Amino acid sequence: MIIPEKAVTAITLNPCIDRTLTIESLSPGGHHVAANVQETVAGKGIDVNVVLRHLGIPTCAVGFDFVQNGTPVALFLEQADIPFAGLSIPAPLRVNTKIFAASERQMTEINCKGPALEAREADAFLSLLDTVLPNTEILVVCGSVPPGIPSELYKTVIETAKSHKIRTILDATGTLLKKGLEACPDVIKPNIAELELLLGTRFDSRESCLAACRKLIENGVDTVCLTLGDDGALMVTKDAAWYSQGLDIPVRGVQGAGDSVVAGICAAMLKTEDRQEWLRSGIAAAHGSLIREGTLLCEKRAYEEFLLRIPVQSL
């Protein structure tokens, strides 16, 4: 395995098979016929890897490779031409089911936790991570972890990356996000539900969301990108803030849209320090995924077209 220099390295510790079914409308307890069914290897970090690969940006995957029923993660990444530093785990790969209701543009998710592991697997992962950090420009720390992996792991990972002067993006939820924040990552990308869970309150306006983001910045985070679903996204720093509603586009799938935002931010971070452009790039990548069905993710041509059109306003 050859890790490209100045790569965006993305962590996936709890990969999965995403099985996405597209139906017209979801009626609980009713009978449905899927118009389209797609299956792919996924995980937040893997989604980031795939989008970056589509954009022609050097990227590397690092994480657990569940091998009880073969090596689907390693094989998928090999076929996608994405270098993979994987720690073999003799357990089955989890399967997540996604139901996309096209008329409501709404995704219903049924996710499995994954097989239980032990703390020693976390230690082995940290040793593996050390082998890819020398070639890493940005480290994306994202997604869930299997049961048994310590909730402090992301905090340790971010601290390790910072000791190597590597910039970090954290995209996690619950305790992983809360503890990861203690290491002061450079960028965090919660969605509105994750922010509400983190701070224990509901936000009903853009102004209240902006205030919450600034509260996180006061505690050491440099930049917050808060995604608001159909209401767009905010990019917030200590001294400035920007908002993008995005464009009115046909939404054919929502799986991986948030991960695409992260990939778009990474793409911009490699070129500029202008946070406004980080937001524009993130939304452009998300749009590139939203127009594709099921689990299909943003491609370069769509990203470049949207990048010229995404509106961003200063707040």
Radius of gyration of the chain (CA): 18
Residue 59 within a domain: yes
Question: Mean pLDDT, to the nearest integer, of 89-109?
Answer: 87
What's the pLDDT score for residue 156? Answer: 98
What's the pLDDT score for residue 63? Answer: 97
- The DSSP H or E segment spanning 84 is strand 84-89
- The distance in angstroms from the start CA to the end CA of the chain is 45
What range does the domain containing 143 cover?
7-314
Give Cα 301 to chain centroid, integer Å: 21
Domain count of the fold of the chain: 1
Residue listed under structure tokens 């979801």 = 26
Residue 243 within a domain: yes
- The DSSP H or E segment spanning 313 is strand 313-314
Confidence of residue 167 (pLDDT cuts 50, 70, 90): very high
pLDDT in tens, 199-213: 999 998 999 999 999
**Separation between Cα atoms, residue 305 and residue 288, nearest integer Å:** 9
Contact, 83 vs 3, CB < 8 A? Answer: yes
Residue listed under structure tokens 């709404």 = 106
In the predicted model, what is the mean pLDDT of the chain?
94
Q: Which of 237, 212, 211 is nearest to 224 (CA)?
A: 237
- In this structure, what CATH number is given to the domain that contains residue 56? 3.40.1190.20
pLDDT in tens, 15-57: 999 888 888 888 888 888 888 888 889 999 999 999 999 999 9
Beta strands in 149-253 (DSSP E): 167-171, 187-188, 223-227, 233-236, 241-244
**Separation between Cα atoms, residue 67 and residue 26, nearest integer Å:** 34
Residue 2 within a domain: no
